[in-house]
Amino acid sequence: MEASLPPYLASLNPEQLEAVRHSGGPLLILAGAGSGKTRVITTKIAYLVRERGVEPESILAVTFTNKAAREMRDRAAAIEPRCGRSTIRTFHSFGAWFLRRNAAAAGLDPNFVIYDDDDSTTLLHAAFPQYTRSECGRIASALARAKDLGLEPDSPDLSAAFRDPQLRRAYAVYEERLRRTGNVDFGDLIRLPARLLRDDPAVARRTRQRFRVILVDEYQDSNVAQFELLRLLAEPSESSAEGAYLCVVGDDDQSIYRFRGAEIRNILEFPSIFPGTSVVKLERNYRSRQSILDVAGQVVSRNAGRLGKELRAERGGGERPKLVLLEDQDEEAAHCARLCEARVGSGGSWSDLAILYRTNAQSLTFEQEFSRRRIPYRLVGALRFYEREEIKDSLAYLALISNRRDEVAWKRVVNKPSRGIGEASAEAVLALAEGESPGGLGDLVAASRRAAETVKGKARSGLTGFAELVDGLGGLLAAGPSGRSGDETLAAFLEAVVKRTGLADYHRGQDEIAGTQKIANLDELVNAASIYPRSAEGLAAFLETIELDRSLIDDKGRREGQAPDAVTLITMHNTKGLEFPVVIVTGMEQGLFPRDDEEGEDLEEQRRLFYVAITRAKDELYLSACRWRRLHGRLSQTLPSRFLSEIEADSLERAGPGSGDREARRNGERRYGQSLGEPGGAGPRGTAGQARGAGAERPEASPWRAGQAVYHDDYGSGVIIKVSPTPSSGPLVVVRFETGRQAQFFPRFTSKLEPSRT
């Protein structure tokens, strides 16, 4: 390495250095797991400012999570303080920032609120009351996908992308309803800036003059709309013949958000879309042992749609990952608990360990077992603080105070707590508000007051009271508490809102009836508002932060960061970007991970998810599978995940469970293990092929036929009443026993069922 390099560059490896110093055409950095990706981006930002004379204000860096954005900002500023002036944000927060600055041009209320999926569903339900709420939910998510794809209500491609011919109309109506509220949804934060750049030359010129360098992190998770926004930002404009310098960083093997609209082709095809692209691969892994990377590499190499990378461990060898086969999920939880206890017993800490699973529902067994054994754990991501009723209620009042055309917020709180305002009165208000502003929507609070004159009974006083309440709160925000103003935070205002609306009493009552924690949650929300000033601007900032960064508070009001010493229970998706000395990937069963209906691109995505899970481990990796799995309230027998057979036999150590009912287990275990990991990785067809060759082709040779008498070790005598073939598990037989009990079995996997001669 050159002697002249400043210290912050000297410690980079040659590939990292190349990525940092690259300039000119577009750059694609393919950064494998644990390869120092964030370090490269932050160093590159600092390098551009320090060595290349780039103005920090002209740098735009976008990420997908607030956590990643914070980290990037902090680390870049730690190297070069001037980087604090760069725009380092999430895609969506950049979009919100951009739209607030160009609200008029975009046709938005400058104080617009951001609707989440639930709000979109409510808006749709208001527009299409003939559909149920859950149908509206499905339509809302289809519309969100359409926006991810950059499609408009009149795009010809809309019909190709979605089956339902009604969707186009639903999209158009939804857009109309959303526009008249003055608010936006998540998709709009990407789509509307792109549209503005396309249609408004003045805005486009100003924006392109400002941002000369654009960096994107986790590019494999970008969607089509985000791609279009990037291209429009980076495009040359009349004032600057050169487009912005575009650098994207990502790992095609870690693309796991297809179901949310992520388009892996964005990264796969980047070099052909942007001619002259340089590609730098970062394949030195500083996190995991080679034995772990071997397994990861074997699995992901089965994917067809990938650019191809091979990680090499800088930390060397390590123990082979261990696979443990267990009887059921209770034993799986006990096994995990024993591993945790062993680690702590030998001087480690609880926080060294992470238990990974595919679905949140799987966490329950672990929680119970860990509580019983007094093992401290923290559950990541399952808490949906902002989706709770009491939180949404309070935020709806705030949103309505901020934007009095917010139909969704108004609808939510106009009769909450109950003021005797029913469907008919609400319709009357809406009709008035619509009349007030042709084609749009007027002030819903004023309309509520005026509608009071036309309705009768309880609704009349209810509407008047509601309007006075909201007006009063609006005044309270502007004026401050009687006399003194200025030196109070938004928390005091929010507290007043919760009290004066009656929400506090209402939810306190709920707490008493149902033993919930609603008041405690409201306290946390109030607490979170304390870092904002008591003003309209402070309120708007608070609402935006809450919509765009839901990790800010959890139930205990803890900020991320000072995590207690506890075992981490977490979904595989949520582990992206994290690392642990010891990782246990649980539920490695066919039907769960992957699901039986996951094929083709979906299957490849699940394989990438497994890859992400594996590469979280620094020193030790355990995999576990259960023979019996309780799912959706049903107990069923399972086969080991096909992913396990994709790992070479000698890369894994097959370990028995540490203790327990050995005798019972030995039988099951041996049989269960048979179909596992044929050497050389017989591949996806391993188990299915066997089934086809053996049973299904010669059904007459099978003893499993309807009418056949059988005997079962536990249930006694019975008769087969139904046999159905399965693609990979042999026949499934349904037996009615003499006791009247009915049960189903896979004869291939049980020795307890046998044909009898009667």
Partner DNA sequence: AGTGCAACTCTTTTT
Partner DNA sequence: GAGTTGCACT
Per rule CB under 7 A, is residue 188 in the interface with DNA? no
Per rule CB under 7 A, is residue 667 in the interface with DNA? no
Per rule CB under 7 A, is residue 257 in the interface with DNA? yes
What CA–CA distances, in Å, run from 339 to 329, 332, 349, 404? 15, 11, 12, 56
Nearer to DNA, 351 or 360 (CB): 360
Nearer to DNA, 379 or 494 (CB): 379
Sign of the CA dihedral running 371, 373, 379, 382: negative
Per rule CB under 7 A, is residue 229 in the interface with DNA? no
What CA–CA distances, in Å, run from 128 to 64, 118, 155, 166, 348? 33, 15, 22, 12, 57
Query: Nearest distance from residue 577's CB to DNA, in Å?
Result: 8
Local structure of residue 695 (DSSP, 8 states): I
Per rule CB under 7 A, is residue 368 in the interface with DNA? no
Site for DNA in 318-357 (CB under 7 A): none
Catalytic, out of 419, 616, 627, 642: 616
- Is 253 a catalytic site residue? no
Nearer to DNA, 90 or 586 (CB): 90
What CA–CA distances, in Å, run from 283 to 36, 293, 311, 443? 10, 11, 5, 57
**Site stretch for DNA (CB under 7 A), options 192-200, 273-281, 286-294, 567-575:** 567-575
Task: Evaluate the omega torsion of the peptide bond into residue 594 and state whether it is cis, within 30 degrees of 0.
Answer: yes
**Site stretch for DNA (CB under 7 A), options 201-209, 235-243, 423-431, 434-442:** 423-431
Catalytic, out of 15, 16, 37, 618: 37
Query: Nearest distance from residue 292's CB to DNA, in Å?
Result: 22
Nearer to DNA, 550 or 692 (CB): 550
Query: Nearest distance from residue 603's CB to DNA, in Å?
Result: 10
Among 301, 574, 690, 726, binds DNA (CB under 7 A): 574
Residue 95, amino acid: G
Query: Nearest distance from residue 135's CB to DNA, in Å?
Result: 7
**Site stretch for DNA (CB under 7 A), options 8-16, 48-56, 61-69, 688-696:** 61-69
CA dihedral 184→185→186→187, nearest 10 degrees, is: -90
Per rule CB under 7 A, is residue 133 in the interface with DNA? yes
Local structure of residue 711 (DSSP, 8 states): E
Helix (H) or strand (E) holding 567: strand 567-571
Query: Nearest distance from residue 548's CB to DNA, in Å?
Result: 3
Nearer to DNA, 266 or 637 (CB): 266
The answer to whether 374 touches 563, Cβ cutoff 8 Å, is: no
- The residues with which 722 forms a beta bridge, in sequence order, are 734
Per rule CB under 7 A, is residue 377 in the interface with DNA? no
Query: Nearest distance from residue 133's CB to DNA, in Å?
Result: 4
Residues in contact with 487: Cβ distance below 8 Å, sequence separation at least 6, in sequence order = none
Per rule CB under 7 A, is residue 602 in the interface with DNA? yes
Pairwise CA distance, residues 116 & 549, whole Å: 12
Residues in contact with 4: Cβ distance below 8 Å, sequence separation at least 6, in sequence order = none
Task: Count the alpha carbons within 13 Å of 631 in the hemisphere toward its beta carbon.
Answer: 17
Among 19, 246, 313, 459, binds DNA (CB under 7 A): 459
Site for DNA in 103-132 (CB under 7 A): 116-117, 132
Nearer to DNA, 360 or 530 (CB): 360
- Is 37 a catalytic site residue? yes
Query: Nearest distance from residue 677's CB to DNA, in Å?
Result: 24
How many helices (H) and strands (E) in the chain?
30, 24
* Site map (CB under 7 A) of DNA, residues 78-97, x = contact: ------------x-xx----
Pairwise CA distance, residues 133 & 302, whole Å: 41
Per rule CB under 7 A, is residue 305 in the interface with DNA? no
Query: Nearest distance from residue 542's CB to DNA, in Å?
Result: 15
Among 305, 348, 422, 755, binds DNA (CB under 7 A): 422
Among 25, 107, 259, 685, binds DNA (CB under 7 A): 259
Query: Nearest distance from residue 296's CB to DNA, in Å?
Result: 19
Among 66, 254, 298, 568, binds DNA (CB under 7 A): 66
Per rule CB under 7 A, is residue 186 in the interface with DNA? yes
HEC-encoded secondary structure of 373-428: CCCCEEECCCCCHHHCHHHHHHHHHHHHHHCCCCHHHHHHHCCCCCCCCCHHHHHH
The answer to whether 26 touches 278, Cβ cutoff 8 Å, is: yes
Per rule CB under 7 A, is residue 571 in the interface with DNA? yes
Pairwise CA distance, residues 321 & 584, whole Å: 10
The shares of helix, strand and coil residues in the chain, as percent rounded to the nearest 5, are 50, 15, 35
Per rule CB under 7 A, is residue 361 in the interface with DNA? yes
- Is 616 a catalytic site residue? yes
Query: Nearest distance from residue 511's CB to DNA, in Å?
Result: 15
Task: Count the alpha carbons within 13 Å of 705 in the hemisphere toward its beta carbon.
Answer: 8
Burial of 357 (0-12, 13-18, 19+ CB in 10 A): buried
Site for DNA in 493-552 (CB under 7 A): 548-551
Phi, psi of 513 (to 5 degrees): -70, -50
Token output for 570: 């977490």
* Site map (CB under 7 A) of DNA, residues 608-637, x = contact: ----------------------x-xx----
- The residues with which 629 forms a beta bridge, in sequence order, are 636
How many chain residues interact with DNA (CB under 7 A)?
49
Query: Nearest distance from residue 719's CB to DNA, in Å?
Result: 27
Pairwise CA distance, residues 103 & 109, whole Å: 6
- Is 218 a catalytic site residue? yes
| Residue appearing with tokens 């699973």 | 357
Nearer to DNA, 66 or 237 (CB): 66
End-to-end CA distance of the chain: 84
Catalytic, out of 87, 254, 365, 586: 254
Q: Report the interface residues with DNA, using CB under 7 A.
A: 64-67, 90, 92-93, 116-117, 132-135, 186, 218, 221, 257, 259-260, 262, 358-361, 381, 415, 418, 420-425, 459, 548-551, 571, 573-574, 576, 595, 598, 602, 606, 630, 632-633
Active site residues: 37-38, 217-218, 254, 616
